[in-house]
């Protein structure tokens, strides 16, 4: 049953990505049909951001089970849904480009920053929470869980924005550059929202 779910998920990702590229082609974006190289910024960003997004989804579902606060639960749901959909698009592009979803290169190599990610305690890229932090989040509840989640997600967004800006600068596939710019805009807005939510709880970003 689990195997069938993975197949369905992969098929959905390809369909979503194909729809995005079809739309881009209709909009006059010829770069959408070009296949980037395995070591390109386009492929590197898609691989790395898919991993980065997966952790945001994980953290968001953790906090939804740790608090009854509707504002935090709504934000967590929105982040989880948005980043799961974007992750599906990026994995779908890698499938259509027939490129590997994993690389022997260190994360961020496509940005010339492969030496930045130590991978210490599970934190593979800028902004990612460590395994210890994820475990802590899963043990907190109520206001403490809300504050820690908002702090972790603020850090996560800052790292994600840095990576997305790298794609805007270095990627060549137009539809992917547009997605990356959308990530920058959306996550900057959410950082402002989370800063306000932290203030309401007597806390600040880390």
| Mean per-residue pLDDT over the chain, rounded | 88
CA distances from 182 to 63, 75, 136, 164 (A): 25, 18, 31, 9
1 compared with 196, residue with greater pLDDT: 196
pLDDT at 22 over 50: no
**Residue 34 burial (CB count, 10 A):** 12
The answer regarding whether domain 2-200 maps to CATH 1.20.1260.10 reads: yes
- Give pLDDT tens digits for 55-89: 999 999 999 999 999 999 999 999 999 999 999 99
Q: Comparing 23-27, 79-83, 113-117, which segment has the lowest mean pLDDT? A: 23-27
- Give pLDDT tens digits for 131-185: 999 999 999 999 999 999 999 999 999 999 999 999 999 999 999 999 999 999 9
The predicted structure's pLDDT at residue 33:
61
CB 105 within 8 A of CB 38: no
Q: Supply 45's token pair.
A: 């960003």
pLDDT band at 115 (very low <50, low <70, confident <90, very high): confident
Question: Which segments of 28-181 are extended strands (E)?
Answer: none
| Contacts of 139 by beta carbon, 8 Å cutoff, 6+ apart | none
Per-domain residue ranges for the chain? 2-200
pLDDT band at 34 (very low <50, low <70, confident <90, very high): confident
């Amino acid at each position: 049953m689990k195997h069938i779910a993975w197949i369905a998920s992969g098929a959905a990702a390809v369909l979503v990505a194909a729809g995005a590229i079809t739309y881009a082609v209709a909009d006059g974006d010829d770069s959408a049909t070009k296949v980037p190289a395995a070591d390109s910024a386009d492929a590197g960003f898609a691989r790395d951001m898919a991993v980065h997004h997966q952790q945001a989804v994980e953290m968001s579902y953790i906090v939804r089970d740790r608090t009854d606060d509707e504002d935090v639960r709504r934000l967590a749901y929105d982040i989880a849904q948005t980043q799961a959909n974007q992750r599906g698009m990026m994995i779908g592009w890698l499938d259509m480009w027939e490129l590997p979803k994993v690389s022997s290169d260190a994360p961020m190599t496509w940005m010339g920053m492969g030496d930045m990610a130590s991978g210490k305690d599970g934190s593979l890229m800028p902004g990612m929470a460590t395994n210890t932090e994820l475990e802590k989040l899963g043990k907190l509840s109520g206001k403490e869980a809300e504050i820690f989640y908002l702090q972790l997600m603020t850090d996560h967004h800052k790292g994600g924005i840095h990576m997305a800006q790298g794609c805007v600068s270095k990627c060549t596939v137009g539809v992917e550059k547009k997605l990356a710019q959308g990530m920058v805009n959306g996550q900057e807005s959410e950082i402002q929202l989370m800063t306000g939510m932290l203030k309401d709880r007597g806390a600040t970003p880390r």
